[in-house]
Amino acid sequence: MKKLLVIFIACFFIGSVYCQNIQVGAVGGINISFAYAIQTGTVFHGTPGFRYALGGYMDIELPYEKFSFHPSLLFSRESYKPDVYGDKTSVRISYFTLPLPIMYHSNLMDKKLDFGFGPYLAYAISGKYVYRGETTKIEFGSDKTKDDGKPLDIGLDFQALYEFQENISFGVRFDLGLKQLSDYQDTKINTRNVSITCNYFLWASSKKAAKK
């Protein structure tokens, strides 16, 4: 978690020093989460879970026309209900998530529609699952003898943002987890998450119009 916060703060100071325009805002939204899970050749299907994400974002102007750097730091609650050999299992995990996309400010829809792509980092701080009525805490770590999964998730972040008003934009974000999170050799788990967000502009380092 400390590493994610350091990266986010570093982005702010680097942007403040080297860029003429940097904007800061708040973001919140709904998470629709699921996962790709397979064990010894068996793929587990399930039902996506609905939770939420809250945090802040920056939009840092780049020296290339129509591009900006758009990091966010989010507290993200995610859930999923896989069908484990006929039994529905409810899994809930809390993350600190750091998307790091480069945004392209297109000319579509009167220059109000933007697209983003980049990596993301997420660190699990707590979690639990309910199996056959029994609630169990998820242990995160790298010790295969006692831990259930790895805390650090890494993947790709895809975004689309639409500027609804000068200070408000709505967005959709898809996180594709690439890192294998299970500590068990016969099990592979990769996360998937869709977020529907609302961004509210708070402050800018210049008089440039608010932009997402």
Q: What is the pTM of this model?
A: 0.89
Query: Which residues, 6+ apart, have CB-to-CB distance to 72 below 8 Å?
Result: 27, 55, 56, 57, 58, 97, 98, 99
For the chain of 212 residues, list the mean pLDDT of each consecutive stretch of 10: 64 57 94 93 91 96 90 96 87 97 96 97 96 91 84 97 95 97 89 98 70 50
Percent of the chain with pLDDT over 90: 67
The answer to whether residue 56 sits within a structural domain is: yes
User: For position 209, what pLDDT does the model report?
Assistant: 46
| pLDDT tens-digit readout, 97-144 | 999 999 999 999 999 999 999 999 999 999 999 988 899 999 998 887
The answer to whether residue 99 sits within a structural domain is: yes
What CATH number does residue 101 fall under? 2.40.160.20
The answer to whether residue 209 sits within a structural domain is: no
The answer to whether residue 211 sits within a structural domain is: no
User: For position 145, what pLDDT does the model report?
Assistant: 76
**Rounded CA gap, 49 and 35, in Å?**
10
Nearest Cα residue to 151 out of 196, 174, 108, 121:
121
User: For position 18, what pLDDT does the model report?
Assistant: 58
**Rounded CA gap, 127 and 21, in Å?**
38
Count how many domains the chain has.
1
User: For position 183, what pLDDT does the model report?
Assistant: 84
The answer to whether residue 41 sits within a structural domain is: yes
Range list of β-strands (E), the chain: 22-39, 42-44, 46-61, 67-69, 72-84, 87-99, 102-105, 113-131, 134-137, 152-163, 168-177, 187-204
Which residues constitute the domain of residue 29?
Answer: 2-204
Give the number of other Cβ atoms within 10 Å of residue 105's Cβ.
21
The answer to whether residue 148 sits within a structural domain is: yes
User: For position 207, what pLDDT does the model report?
Assistant: 45
The answer to whether residue 210 sits within a structural domain is: no
User: For position 101, what pLDDT does the model report?
Assistant: 97
The answer to whether residue 44 sits within a structural domain is: yes
